[in-house]
């Protein structure tokens, strides 16, 4: 087990190197000049050249990449082109709302989706099963921003049950904190929940058809015991896999959700940095998201041994 963990951790190094190269090349080879944006519409070519020299953008790409990697190896994500603040400090200021939104979305999605998937498999072929499948199809098909605006209209504008936008820190009160997370969590979580519910149903249907499930029923065990202790436990590996894969959906959805609900997290910071062509911020955030995704998938792999004792590394 320890050797497997070490190998997986070491395997993340070339993955992060490839991500770093791809991000640097994609940003620097795409059209647009941050120096021209900083200089403004009335700037001369000489003004733009001076800004490019100050930012080091006039150097060859290999030199820029080498300088960036050298600073990255020392824990320095660079300095923002527009604010002149360390990228690590900007990320630290914005990471709290994003973590809160991600965790609340995971909780909402898992608590909603797994019971729905189990129930749909248990009642396969009935109206309950069809209703869950309709939810899975619609929930996965409707864009996040559409769901967000529907929730805002229904729960904030028409009924004033919840605040429209913004974010409140937990230090300012638990109730305001939760009330500002309800709509973003549901808007982002419905798509994720639809995916988990569908995979849970498929995995449970496969397990419920096994001989040991019929044996458990023949022994007189209750339906709840059979579903939870026998079927769901053996169907947990595919469910855990799709939860780990779905984290990529959350990372992409966070950007849209934070923009719609005006949450000052990493998603909003990413959008602002892209509009300004602020290379250091974009590179730092993408690396943080990539590292988080790699860690989540590593944890999912390690959880297999706990969910299914037959799996050994």
Contact 164, 203 (CB under 8 A): no
Both 32 and 139 in one domain: the answer is: no
Number of domains in the chain: 2
Q: Angle 236-260/144-151 helices, nearest 10 degrees? A: 60
Both 55 and 195 in one domain: the answer is: no
Q: CATH number of the domain that 186 lies in?
A: 1.10.3720.10
Both 280 and 237 in one domain: the answer is: yes
Ramachandran category for residue 126: left, alpha or beta (phi over 0 → left; psi -120 to 50 → alpha): beta
Closest by CA to 284, choosing from 75, 30, 18, is 75
Beta-carbon count within 10 A of 172 CB: 10
| CA–CA–CA angle 206, 211, 216 (5° rounding) | 105
Both 57 and 154 in one domain: the answer is: no
pLDDT level of residue 131 (50, 70, 90 thresholds)? very high
Q: What is the pLDDT of residue 311?
A: 66
Beta-carbon count within 10 A of 98 CB: 29
Both 7 and 155 in one domain: the answer is: no
pLDDT in tens, 32-90: 666 776 666 677 777 777 777 776 777 777 887 888 788 788 777 877 877 788 888 88
In a domain, 86, yes or no: no
Residue at token pair 């062509």 = 277
Q: Which two tokens stand for residue 261?
A: 């609900």
Closest by CA to 101, choosing from 157, 169, 162, is 169
Both 121 and 57 in one domain: the answer is: no
Evaluate if residue 309 carries a pLDDT over 70. no
Three-state DSSP state, 300: helix
Cα dihedral 298→304→309→311 (10° resolution): -80
Domain that holds residue 121: 93-307
The DSSP call for residue 171 is G
pLDDT in tens, 13-32: 788 788 878 877 766 666 66
In a domain, 134, yes or no: yes
pLDDT in tens, 151-168: 888 888 888 888 888 888
- Give how far Cα 137 sits from Cα of 89, 130, 144, 202, Å: 41, 11, 14, 14
Based on the number of CB atoms within 10 Å of its own CB, is 211 exposed (0-12), middle (13-18) or buried (19 or more)?
exposed
Which of 39, 73, 107 is the last residue in one of the domains? 73
Question: What is the average pLDDT score of the chain?
Answer: 81
Q: Quote the CA–CA distance of 225 and 115 in Å, as a whole number.
A: 14
Q: Quote the CA–CA distance of 29 and 107 in Å, as a whole number.
A: 39
In a domain, 147, yes or no: yes
Both 185 and 60 in one domain: the answer is: no
Higher pLDDT among residues 308 and 275, named by residue: 275
Contact 308, 237 (CB under 8 A): yes
Both 151 and 298 in one domain: the answer is: yes
Both 97 and 52 in one domain: the answer is: no
């Amino acid at each position: 087990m320890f050797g497997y963990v070490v190998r997986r951790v070491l395997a993340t190094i070339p993955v992060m190197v490839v991500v770093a190269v791809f991000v640097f090349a994609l940003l620097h080879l795409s059209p647009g000049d941050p120096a021209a944006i900083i200089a403004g519409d009335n700037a001369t070519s000489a003004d733009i050249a001076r800004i490019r020299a100050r930012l080091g953008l006039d150097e060859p790409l290999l030199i820029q990449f080498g300088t960036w990697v050298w600073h990255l190896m020392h824990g320095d994500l660079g300095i923002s082109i527009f604010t002149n603040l360390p990228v690590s400090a900007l990320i630290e200021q914005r990471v709290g709302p994003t973590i809160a939104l991600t965790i609340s979305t995971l909780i909402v999605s898992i608590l909603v989706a797994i019971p729905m998937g189990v129930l749909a498999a248990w009642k396969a072929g009935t109206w309950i099963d069809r209703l869950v499948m309709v939810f899975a199809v619609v929930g996965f098909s409707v864009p996040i921003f559409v769901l967000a605006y529907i929730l805002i209209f229904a729960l904030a504008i028409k009924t004033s049950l919840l605040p429209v936008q913004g974010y409140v820190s937990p230090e300012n009160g638990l109730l305001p904190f939760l009330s500002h997370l309800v709509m973003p969590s549901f808007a982002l979580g419905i798509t994720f929940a639809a995916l988990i519910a569908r995979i849970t149903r498929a995995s449970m249907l496969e397990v419920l058809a096994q001989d040991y499930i019929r044996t458990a029923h023949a022994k007189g065990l209750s339906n709840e015991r059979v579903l939870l202790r026998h079927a769901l436990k053996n169907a947990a590996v595919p469910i855990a896999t799709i939860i780990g894969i779905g984290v990529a959906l959350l990372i992409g959805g966070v950007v849209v959700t934070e923009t719609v609900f005006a949450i000052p997290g990493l998603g909003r910071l990413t959008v602002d940095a892209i509009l300004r062509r602020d290379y250091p911020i974009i590179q730092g955030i993408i690396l943080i998201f990539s590292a988080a995704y790699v860690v989540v998938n590593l944890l999912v792999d390690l959880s297999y041994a706990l969910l299914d004792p037959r799996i050994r590394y």
